[in-house]
Amino acid sequence: MAQKKRSTRSTGRRSGTKKPVNKRRGFFRRLLPYVFLLGCAAAVVLAGYMVYLDSAVRAQFEGMRWTLPAKVYASPLELYAGLGLSRSDISARLDRQGYRASSSLARAGSYHSSSNQLDIHTRAFTFWDGKQAAREIRLKFNGSGVSSLSTLDDKGDSALMRLDPLMIGSIYPKQGEDRILVKLGEVPPMLPAGLITVEDREFMTHWGVSLKSIARAAWANLRAGGVVQGGSTITQQLVKNFYLDNRQTLVRKGKEALMAILLDAHYSKPEILEAYLNEVYLGQDGSRAIHGFGLASYFYFQKPLEELQPQEIALLVAMVKGPSYYNPRRHPERAKRRRDLVLDMFHAAGFLEDDGWRQAQKAGLGVSARSVRSTSQYPAFIDLVRRQLLGPYKDNDLTEEGLRIFTTLDPAVQAATEKRVAKGLDKVEAGRGIKRNSLQSAAVVTSVEGGRVLALVGGRDAGFAGFNRALDARRPIGSLIKPVVYLTALAQPSKYNVITPVDDSALAVKLANGDTWRPQNYSKRTHGNAVPLHYALSHSYNLATARLALDVGIPNVIDTLKKLGYTGDPLSVPSLALGAVDMAPMQVAQIYNTLAAGGYYTPLLAIRDVTTRQGEPLSRYPLKIQRAIDEAPVYLTNWILQRVARFGTGASMYNTLDSSLNVAGKTGTSDELRDSWFAGFSANRLAVVWVGRDDNQPAQLTGATGALQLWAGIMDDIEPRGLLNVPPEDVIEIPLRMRFDPARGADGSSRRDCRGTAQVPFVRDQVPDGLSDCDSDIMRENRYRRRQAPEQRKEDDRNWLQKLFG
């Protein structure tokens, strides 16, 4: 709609057509009184109409209140000594935010990079906790990242500095205008000067309409034999944008002229010009109309208006004539020709010196890359932000008040996640002979501690604002539920520890409805009745897990699930033990985040703070934590999940990841290979990835062959720090040889040395009797002991110990 509005603007004015002169003078004379009367009546009507128009013009202009969509910002980059980012990482971030590489740091928004250091002149920015002035700083680098931060200006030392945050989008109505307000006094002087030069030379002197420019336009159009030039003044253009729709009739033209004259009579030229700067239409982004130079500057150059170079100002001024015709992303050559023409006009008018003019002519368009059809760069994440805001805020608070919303998104993590999802799917499809572009995916990345959502990908094409699979695709989670079953068991340390033998023999359960449930292992094989508990989880045995879940009780498993942060109400059926519950990736992330944070639940948040347009704090989303589950069983569970990664179903991650990195995770596969999941975490990053098909047909992928491949790529790219394995207060670790082999059972060699042992965690005071340093995995004895009545145990223990050591 709005596109049309502007593109028809330049069709120019039509002059009235002349009527043949009436030769019947007598008749005319007789008519004269009537004509006079009619004229009087018309004048009265016109006067009345003028009064009406006048009040309309004044009411609108004085109550001038544009609806201002909320602005959404990514998490700002904190710069400090010890930050693990390289010089090129930080320069890339600066480039993305429109910082200009420059030899001098004279202006904010510029940087200078040399061998081992980076000098930055940061932008001033009003954060949620106050204003930070523009600063000149120097970062030095060593092999591991930033080694020092010093200041180059005289405003005092600082141990850390925030970069202004990347603006990642707006929350605007479905068919809406978006803008950022600017003040005339704060824009580069070349912009208003250039606008007047190009659009309306007589602006400062005419009174709303300019007969001269109408005549000039008419003459130009006549000579060209068509409409090549519009005669509208800036005031008329503003009136049209402001008050009228885009129908181009003679009556409207008249009304437009009248209103322009009225506007000019009431308001000063600077007021009109400022309104124009904020109102003019400059492009379209999906259903979002880009209004005003303030937003256009971000939309095309990803930086504030104050920092634009002459050629960039010229491009925006050039586009006023037809933002879609001269769209620099779609028609770069056409746009450049007009920009150069505008630069020539700037030069001829005398406010662009020879040197600057030549330099500007040579410069490319410099427009930032951006997916043309998307409404924002991160539609899935913005969707999450919007949903989290829609409790306390009403729809029009978000679309009209110009709120500033500070989010947790980390642009680098988001970019890596998007890339790895897209490339990973291509690779999985190619590698496994799956039809191209048939798979879909979603991914969530969090910070673990603090529960901040760092990245969210809602589909294969992350820039496409469609079905948000990360939040809305609810699929069976398969084996992702297993850690919850084992955690429930390990929370009873007197009954279960990580080496407790569990039964992986065939199972048939009579259900309430009369059916019989007969789960099977993925391999269709059974593994005997004495599989160490950790082994059954790390190899994702279904039978052992189902039996364990029935032992601890399905309602208890559900209880654990809820403590971890699941808000649904799953059916209490045996098949829940194997993941017969549908969840969206975001819900899985919430559950695993509680595990990753050591049993402390933090609601996953995408928003940190909301302020008014002026920076007054409105709402803060403070860190809230809750001790959901005892730390000890969580520690034991996470220890097993690290074995999943090292030795179990997740081991292929180390084809991608550095082998020194300790991570924990779990694969998940649903029936008939429909859904492929992986959820896993390091100390500082948690990622959940789902791969499947939108039509819910089998994807022909297990968790390991599908989602894990994408997950490993993501984790590798987002600066993971390895898990540290510091046992909590009531956990002790004992070195044991882990030598279970399902083919041979618990026996194995009788070596009793300390080689090849692992630190195995136990809840203090619940260590099975008879374990000693460097002992082997005492499966048989342990199994034997479980069968004994407690009273008998003491005696047997002695016998058994005597047998071993006596």
Partner 1 sequence: MQRLLALIVVLVLAGCATTQRTSFPPPEGPAPPETPRPERPERPQPPEPSKPSEPSEPEEMPPRSAQQASSPAVLSLLNTADTLARNGNMDRAASVLERALSIEPRNPFIYQRLASVKLAEGKNDQAEAMARKSNSVAGDNPFVRADNWQLIAEARRSGGDRGGASEATGRARNYRTSSQQWMQ
Q: What is the contact surface with partner 1 in residues (CB under 8 A)?
A: 78, 80-82, 128-129, 140, 147-150, 156-160, 447-450, 452, 598-600, 609, 620, 622-627, 631, 683-684, 724, 726, 728-729
CB 697 within 8 A of CB 673: no
**CA quadruple 334, 335, 340, 341: dihedral sign:** positive
CA-based nearest residue to 187, from 348, 68, 301, 297: 297
Q: What minimum distance in Å lies between the beta carbon of 725 and partner 1?
A: 9
523 a catalytic residue: no
Please report how the helices 292-301 and 269-279 are oriented relative to each other, as an axis angle in degrees rounded to 10: 40
CB of 78 to partner 1, least distance (A): 6
- With respect to partner 1, which residue has the nearer C-beta, 32 or 726? 726
Beta bridge partners of 758: 736
Q: Say if CB 651 and CB 680 are below 8 A apart.
A: no
d(CA 498, CA 97): 49
**Are 382 and 675 a contacting pair, CB within 8 Å?**
no
Query: At closest approach, how far in Å is the CB of 419 from partner 1?
Result: 24
Q: Nearer to partner 1 by C-beta: 129 or 671? A: 129
Nearest to partner 1 of 448, 487 (CB atom): 448
Least Cα distance to 495 among 546, 542, 552 occurs for 552
CB atoms within 10 A of CB 794: 11
CA–CA distance, 501 with 598 (Å, rounded to integer): 25
What CA–CA distance (Å, rounded) separates 136 from 152?
5
Q: Which token pair is 444?
A: 């969530």
Q: Helix, strand, or coil here: 795?
A: helix
Residue 223 CB-density burial (10 A; 0-12 exposed, 13-18 middle, 19+ buried): exposed
State the nearest-atom distance from the C-beta of 2 to partner 1, in Å: 39
479 counts as catalytic? yes
Rg (CA), the chain: 35
Mutual angle of helices 190-199 and 310-319, in 10-degree steps? 40
Which structure tokens are listed for 785?
Answer: 């002991």
Find the shortest distance in angstroms from Cβ 81 to partner 1.
Answer: 4
Find, among 84, 151, 109, the residue nearest to 685 by Cα. Answer: 84
* 3-class state of residue 153 by DSSP: coil
Q: Which residues of 257-269 are buried (b: 16+ CB within 10 A; e: fewer)?
A: bbbbbbbbeebeb
Question: Are the beta carbons of 236 and 254 closer than 8 angstroms?
Answer: no
d(CA 133, CA 346): 33
Answer yes or no: are the C-beta atoms of 439 and 431 closer than 8 Å: no
Is 439 strand, coil or helix?
A: coil
CB of 687 to partner 1, least distance (A): 16
Q: Are strands 582-583 and 475-476 parallel, antiparallel or unpaired?
A: antiparallel
> In terms of CB distance, is 63 or 130 closer to partner 1?
130
User: Which amino acid, residue 305?
Assistant: L
Q: What token pair was written down for 54?
A: 């006048």
Say which amino acid occupies 453: V
> With respect to partner 1, which residue has the nearer C-beta, 138 or 334?
138
Per the DSSP assignment, residues forming a β-bridge with 609 are 406, 620
Least Cβ distance, residue 446 to partner 1 (angstroms): 12
Output the smallest distance, CB 491 to partner 1, in A. Answer: 16
Q: Which two tokens stand for residue 689?
A: 């990835």
Annotated catalytic residue, options 75, 170, 213, 479: 479
Residues carrying an active site annotation:
199, 479
